Structure formats: C-alpha cells, structure tokens
Structure 1
C-alpha cells in the first residue's frame, strides 16, 4: 500500500488484480478512481489499535522501512501457511434445509398496499431529507477501522439477528470493506442469518495464520463472502467445542482492522469474558434488550456496569429494544424511558414476520418499520464509533 495514498483505491486494486503485490503497486488508471464523495483514507503511519489506543502486537508501523535483506527476517514476515485445511461444513443440515420453507415478507399485503397509496398522496420531501441525513451518518469517513460490538444479557433475544442486520446495512451504504465477525459460542446462528451456505475457516484458525505481511486478498481467501457484499468470519464450524478465548478475539479483531472500515462483532452474551472484553475495547456497543420486564431490568443493570468501564463505554452505547412477539404487552415508552435514564439512545426494533421466521435474512423481505429501525440503529452506532479517536 502506498504511503499516504488512497486506501480504498488500493483495496479495489487488490481485489481486481491477480498479479503479484509488486505488479499491483503500479499507478491505477484514471478510470479506476472511485467517484463516491465519501471515501475511507487510511493514514499510512497508524497501526491498528483498540479503543484504548493499544497497538496490535506484532504489527509494525506503516512507515517502517522495507524488509531487510536477511533471509531469516524476510521469512518471518511472510504469511504463515495453515497447519491444516479444515473441511467445508454446511451451516444447515441438508436434511433440514428443505424445512425452512418460503421466506415470508415482513409486512402483510394489505399494509404494503396502504403504504404505496399514502406515498402517492403525501409529500416525500421530509422523508427524503431524513433518509439523506441517515445515509451520511452511515457513510461517515473513518481513519481507522471501527469495531461495533453487539451483545445481550441472554441468548434468544435477537443478538445475532441484529448483528446480521447491521452488517448488511453497512455493506449496503458504505463504499469500503465491511466484516461481520462471530465471537459467540460454538453453536452461534450468525452464518445462517447472513445467508452463508457453508463455513470452513474460523476465528481460531485465522488467529494462527495472520501476519503483518498479508494483503487484503490473502485475508479474504479465509473469509465467507456475503451475497450482497462484505465478508463473514464465523467463530466455529457449528460444532460443539471450546469457546473462543480472549487472546484469539484480540488477535483477530486487532489484526483485521487493518483491512476493514467497519467490523460488526456478534459477541457471546454477558457476562462472558469475551463479551466483557469486546464491550470494553469496541468503538461502539449495541446492547439488544428483549421487550419484556425482566429483559429491560437486566439490560439496565448492564448499562450501569458499562458506566464503570474505562473509555466512556456508556457514552458509546445504544440499546436495541427488540420485540420478538406480536403480542408484547410491556409499555414501550416506559421501558425506553427506564433505559434512557442512563443517558443511552434507545432504538425500538418492532416485531417482523420475516425475522421471526428464522433462516437467512433477505433485506428486501423486511417490513418497512423493521428496515427503517435497522438503518437508524446502524447510523447511531456508526455516529458513536466515529467519535472515538
């Protein structure tokens, strides 16, 4: 990567060329220049660091001189070859895949028809202005990769669903690479929600391979490409095994921030050790709270705990108040007000038939209310993450 150059242009060149790094380092043609007004530029002198400013161990400054002529030193900087190549494993057992059925639209036909008629008669000026404002938040240029951690107080409340929604939203709006990373237990559902048919490499596998010499094209060879853009790194192959440890999490997240503008991390539930580390070191945090009395009460306790962490953790947190049932009876305003007393922003994610169905998330099938809430949540998380220096 050229020092002081356009990081996004270098990324696109790496993805589009198959020559050696030396061949790819030549000047790009004028037609290859991105035309988007908001582009990610990466300062050549800044190494990856966590939210507290700690540099990734083993990763040199971008201004380091060329590798020395000593063969031993050059060999130490080459990408390490994997000790073994894991087999590809389907995310859903083929015997069960047919049971998923046809995806259901989040809104009923009646609701979609009524919205279309209202659009024909109402002025869209205010709506367009709001959508433009939110799009600018989502496309906010950053100078280092941002990490957004998603967690909850217990499983089954939509944490992986929210992570998948955020990853897809950033992929849609941003012009630079986005990674969705699973740091959950061995049987997490993020690969299924992201639409991955199979997985091979895991975080633990990649932690043993990553070196500072690897280029983006080297790294993406171990990731799962997402259908509508971006990449996915699962925590495992969907088998029961040892959960991810803190060392593996730190190694992978600090190293991959060199290549991705935004990394959405689907953490394990609190008070897991990896989840606590992720919440402490991320640039922004999303806590998914179920719209139940016990869910809101437990989430409030988590927020009080975040207030005691360094790096102003609570100031960089947003709560996603998720309705997993169409028959929720908890008063939404009272629940949101109870959480807002800590100073956080609360975004309500309404019940959506498509999300409740399970299986791969298809953005086009989301109901309008769920889609709008997801975009607002992503914009708020990006706004908080971009504030961290």
Structure 2
C-alpha cells in the first residue's frame, strides 16, 4: 500500500492557504506595520549607528560640582546665619580670583624664563621678583626658582630664610656633578611659598666675573629641574651677563616706580632695548608700576598714574600696578600671608598676565 493510501503523505499543493492563490488586489497586498518597517532598506554600511549617549563616570558628572562656600562678606553672614542652609555662592571677586588662579596654574611644558630689569635702582625690582616668584610657587605645583644676577651684591637671598651659604658660583663650580634635583637643592634657599632662591656672590669683585657664558651654563642646569626661572638683573644694561639674560628670556618685566624719574628710567630701558634689536621683547614685555603711598611731586601735585599706565600700554603687552604694602616696605623676608588683600590680588593678576604668554601645552 502506498504512502498516499495510508494517509502518511500529503501533497503540498493540497494544503496551500487560499490567500496564497487568491488574485492580487489592484493596489497590492496590505502589509502589517512591522512588516513594512522590516521591508525598509538597511542603512548603508558606511553610516554606522551612533552609540547611545552615556554619562562620563567622573566625580563631577556623577555627583555634580558642589557650590563653594562664601569666604567672606555678606554672603558668608547669610550662609552662617541660616545654619548653612542658604548658600548664595561666591561673589564676583571670588570668581574672578578663581579664574586668575586657573590662568596662573596653566600647564607648562619645558622651562619658561622671566627676566626682571630696570635702569634705576630703588624701584622695588628685587621685591617684585621675590613676590611674583612666591605667587607662582604658592599656586602652581611645579618648581619655581629666582636667580640673583645682580653684579653689585644682590639682595634677593634676603627675601627668603637663608638655608645655605652657597651661591651661583658654587653651583657652577660643581655643575658637572649635578645629576638630580636634590643635587641642585643644596645650593638654594626656600621660602614658605616654596619659592627657591639662588644667591649671587656677596663679594662684588667676584660677582663681576659672572659672564654671559656663566649665566647660560646656570640656565642649562636649572632648566632641567625647574618650570619657571625668574632672573633678578642689575641696573646696568651693559654688565657682563645681560646679553645672555636678554637672549634667553621668554618675557621681560620692566619695573618702575610711580614717580616721574622712575617712569622715565623705565621708558629709557625700553628705548635702549628697541635700539639694540630687542623690539620683539619690548612688544611682549610687561611693565610693573610700584605705587607709592601718599607721595607727591613738587608743588604738591600728584603724578597722574593713568597717564603713566597709558604711556607704557602703547609700547608693551601689559601694564600692572602694585599698591603700597607696609610688609614689603620692611625690606625683610617676604611672607605672602602678611600682605594686604589688594596686594595679593595685584600679584595674582600680574602672575596671570605673565602666564598668558606661556606657550601652548599641546
């Protein structure tokens, strides 16, 4: 008996659903929505689907940035008076300082060299070197050093606690054996801000022999271990090391007093630089005007600081005024904590201006 007779075989043509053999409607066969979506052509292989967005698993992304507590003023009183329930955040001054601090702390690759000079003594050049260096060192996490290149018994080493009698001459004598930061540290003194100072020779006869080659060799040693090198120059533009200082400097800071003679000397410094081929340094330079408390010119007339600032702003990249501060007038070791608030703010602004000239970190 065959499979068909036994019912064990079914002819496929006999089991075809009737809709399969029905005539096609004039407008086509209706397609279910899901089938219509499935019938759409797939996107080309050259346009891969983008992954779903996700949160960056960082502390700020997951927890949010906490609002800073007001450090002072009426905002602080509101914060404490409400039992820390009402926090209106920081004021514009605090936000500006935070912005300036971030600018000072910009990443820096290699070594950046800052030279501070003036043709006139007594304008606070060494003090500006120490306070600016201390500001950089207190904000940044890298190493900052100030070098005393004054041939006439410089006083930069008096701005920090003296930790060693060594000078730049001892560093040069032992330069071949210096292979690490700890080796250099034996020749420097460090202040509470972490600014290090490399002193000059106290004997003018010896320090006069500090030549351009000596300064270049000093930089070769320091550049390996420090991110910022500030050089406190003498008042003479023709002393032996000055040519190397100018050739190696990334930026010049010209220091002037708020008096007429100080401003004229600072302008003469720029004139000398222009006349000797340093026009690019002049255009990129920064002038610091040290204001003097209650000082008046002859006849009781006060120097017009706006005109002084305007004069230098036409020639240089920036002009920064530093207010009088009793702590700096002492002429002793510099402690940033003892400075007035407006002095600290001006120094941070000066440091941010200098940092604006840092080369790109990338």
The residue number in structure 1 matching 2:291 is 323
Structure-1 separation of matches of 2:203 and 2:303: 36
The residue number in structure 2 matching 1:234 is 199
When normalised by structure 1's length, the TM-score is 0.64
Query: Could you list the per-position Cα deviations for residues 175-203 of structure 1 after superposition, in whole angstroms to 9, with x for gaps in the alignment?
Result: 1111111111242111112x223542111
Structure-1 separation of matches of 2:330 and 2:230: 23
> In the superposition, relative to structure 1, how do residues 141 and 388 fare at CA in structure 2: closer, same or farther (>3 Å)?
closer
Structure-1 separation of matches of 2:326 and 2:222: 35
**Structure with bigger RCO (C-alpha 8 Å, 6+ apart):** 1
Find out whether 1:267 has 2:233 as its counterpart: yes
> In the superposition, relative to structure 1, how do residues 159 and 254 fare at CA in structure 2: closer, same or farther (>3 Å)?
same
- Aligned with 2:176: secondary structure? coil
1:3-82 alignment runs, 5 A limit: none
The CA deviation at 1:304 is 3.2
The answer on whether the counterparts of 2:144 and 2:228 sit within 8 Å (CA) in structure 1 is yes
The CA deviation at 1:315 is 3.1
How many residues align? The count is: 273
Find out whether 1:188 has 2:161 as its counterpart: no
The CA deviation at 1:335 is 0.7
> In the superposition, relative to structure 1, how do residues 298 and 225 fare at CA in structure 2: closer, same or farther (>3 Å)?
closer
Query: Could you list the per-position Cα deviations for residues 220-247 of structure 1 after superposition, in whole angstroms to 9, with x for gaps in the alignment?
Result: 12222333313211012x3443322222
When normalised by structure 2's length, the TM-score is 0.69
Which residue of the other structure, out of 245, 251, 255, is the alignment partner of 2:217? 251
The answer on whether the counterparts of 1:154 and 1:269 sit within 8 Å (CA) in structure 2 is yes
The answer on whether the counterparts of 1:151 and 1:268 sit within 8 Å (CA) in structure 2 is yes
Query: Could you list the per-position Cα deviations for residues 76-111 of structure 1 after superposition, in whole angstroms to 9, with x for gaps in the alignment?
Result: xxxxxxxxxxxxxxxxxxxxxxxxxxxxxxxxxxxx
Find out whether 1:375 has 2:348 as its counterpart: yes
Find out whether 1:277 has 2:250 as its counterpart: no
Name the stretch that deviates more: 370-379 or 295-304.
295-304
Structure-2 separation of matches of 1:160 and 1:213: 27
Structure-2 separation of matches of 1:318 and 1:201: 31
The residue number in structure 2 matching 1:164 is 130
Structure-1 separation of matches of 2:336 and 2:235: 25
The CA deviation at 1:117 is 5.2
The CA deviation at 1:373 is 1.0
Structure-2 separation of matches of 1:306 and 1:381: 19
Find out whether 1:288 has 2:217 as its counterpart: no
The residue number in structure 2 matching 1:87 is none
The residue number in structure 2 matching 1:362 is 335
The answer on whether the counterparts of 1:199 and 1:234 sit within 8 Å (CA) in structure 2 is no
Structure-1 separation of matches of 2:339 and 2:120: 24
Gaps in structure 1 of 5+ consecutive residues: 1-114
Find out whether 1:304 has 2:271 as its counterpart: yes
> In the superposition, relative to structure 1, how do residues 119 and 362 fare at CA in structure 2: closer, same or farther (>3 Å)?
farther
- Aligned with 1:197: secondary structure? coil
Structure-1 separation of matches of 2:198 and 2:192: 14
The CA deviation at 1:124 is 3.8
> In the superposition, relative to structure 1, how do residues 245 and 325 fare at CA in structure 2: closer, same or farther (>3 Å)?
farther
Structure number, greater radius of gyration: 2
The answer on whether the counterparts of 1:287 and 1:319 sit within 8 Å (CA) in structure 2 is yes
- Aligned with 1:182: secondary structure? strand
Which residue of the other structure, out of 142, 154, 176, is the alignment partner of 2:120? 154
The residue number in structure 2 matching 1:219 is 184
The answer on whether the counterparts of 2:212 and 2:243 sit within 8 Å (CA) in structure 1 is no
The answer on whether the counterparts of 1:203 and 1:233 sit within 8 Å (CA) in structure 2 is yes
Structure-1 separation of matches of 2:322 and 2:243: 24
Structure-2 separation of matches of 1:286 and 1:372: 18
Ranges of 4+ aligned residues in structure 1 off by more than 6 Å: none
> In the superposition, relative to structure 1, how do residues 276 and 155 fare at CA in structure 2: closer, same or farther (>3 Å)?
farther
The answer on whether the counterparts of 2:286 and 2:320 sit within 8 Å (CA) in structure 1 is yes
